[in-house]
Amino acid sequence: RRSVTAVLGVGILALAVATGVAGESFKASTADSEAQIVQLKGQLDDAQSTPVKSDASAQLSKLTEAAAAEAKKVATGEQTFATLYHQAGVQPSPHNGAPDQATLEIIKHRRDMAPLFSKDSFLVSDKEAYSTSSLSSFDATTEIDPRHAWYIRYDGPNAAAPNTYVWKVETVMPDLSLRNVSTMSNQAKVVWLCRDTESGEVLAWASARYVRNGTAGAFDHLALVVTAAGAQYEQLSIKIPAGSGVPEPGGTGAQKKGGKR
């Protein structure tokens, strides 16, 4: 009982930190997060009065360690995208219609990222996902295929230097919305943040579910939010008509993108 109580308590603390860490840019989701904190506190009370298996702590610990390790691979992979897109912008074009080496590396990296995610979360076929075409059959402003780069910061027409922003894992915790401890022990929720390395401002954040079956696991239910601060550096932002604008921090303004649920 004590072990589950401890995990729930850590989950409440982690969610509270994730809720407040980005300040104004997270206002749109603060109410939902506060409601979830109240729900988690109720689950904490239940955990204090409900007997559980003695090995629950070990199971939850293994789940959290596995999810954290895989989440770190995802964050590293997103940072690699930042490097590759920057290289693609500064490398000389072959001027023969063929893609440059950095573009080919981006396609290869999409393949490298694929095993980290459930195939059910993919929005497009492998043929489209690994094509050099910049066109996609899904709306990139509202949807995200997890094999594609989540967020690329631009400095003018070219991708910004990769050392100007960084993706990191923010929280990893068992899915506390599940009442069954045995089910809770193989599902976790993960949150990543992308920050400006100089100011610390949050440019984007993502969340996903990690499901572990036996010794293997994968992410699904990916959701991505580009904050108002981050949207001003997106390449897509130059296509927004004057006057429609991206809402400023404190407004309703984060741009939400969802993958296949």
Burial of 136 (0-12, 13-18, 19+ CB in 10 A): middle
Per the document, the length of the chain is: 261
- Which domain covers residue 151, as residue numbers? 2-91+100-258
Token pair listed for 29: 């989701």
Report CA-CA distances (Å) from 21 to 9, 142, 223: 18, 24, 18
DSSP letters, 198-259, are: TT--EEEEEEEEEEEETTEEEEEEEEEEE-HHHHTTSGGGGGSPTTT-PPPTTTT-PEEEE-
CA angle 254-78-241, nearest 5°?
35
Q: 141 falls in which pLDDT band (50, 70, 90)?
A: confident
Task: Return the closest-CA partner of residue 184 out of 72, 69, 52.
Answer: 52
3-state SS, residue 122: coil
Q: Are 145 and 102 in contact (CB under 8 A)?
A: no
Q: DSSP 3-state assignment of 70?
A: helix
User: Cβ-count burial of 65 within 10 angstroms (0-12 exposed, 13-18 middle, 19+ buried)?
Assistant: exposed
| Cα torsion angle, 113, 116, 117, 118, sign | positive
Lowest mean pLDDT among 43-52, 72-81, 90-99, 145-154: 43-52
**Mean pLDDT of the region 42-50:** 51
Q: Measured between alpha carbons, how far is 147 from 18 in angstroms, rounded to an integer?
A: 24
pLDDT of residue 134: 74
What is the pTM assigned to this prediction?
0.74
pLDDT band for position 243 (50/70/90)? very low
- pLDDT at position 57 is 77
HEC-encoded secondary structure of 24-58? HHHHHHHHHHHHHHHHHHHHHHHHHHCCCCCCHHH
**What confidence score (pLDDT) does residue 28 get?**
39
Q: What is the pLDDT of residue 54?
A: 54
| Total count of domains within the chain | 1
3-state class (DSSP) for residue 179: coil
Contacts of 90 (CB under 8 A, 6+ apart): 158
Sheet with 202-213: list strands edge to edge: 165-174, 187-196, 202-213, 216-226, 255-258
Residue with more model confidence, 76 or 36: 76
Span 157-209, pLDDT tens digits: 999 999 999 999 999 998 877 666 666 678 999 999 999 999 999 999 999 99
What's residue 235's pLDDT?
Answer: 82
Main-chain dihedrals φ then ψ at residue 166, nearest 5 degrees = -145, 140
pLDDT, tens only, 61-104: 899 999 999 999 999 999 999 999 999 888 887 777 778 888 89
Do 193 and 22 contact (CB within 8 A), yes or no?
yes
Residue 215 confidence class, pLDDT cut points 50, 70, 90: confident
- Among 16-25, 29-38, 123-132, 158-167, which range has the highest average pLDDT? 158-167
Instruction: Provide the angle, in degrees to the nearest 10, between the axes of the packed helices 56-90 and 101-113.
Output: 170
Buried b (16+ CB within 10 A) or exposed e, 154-163: beeeebbebe
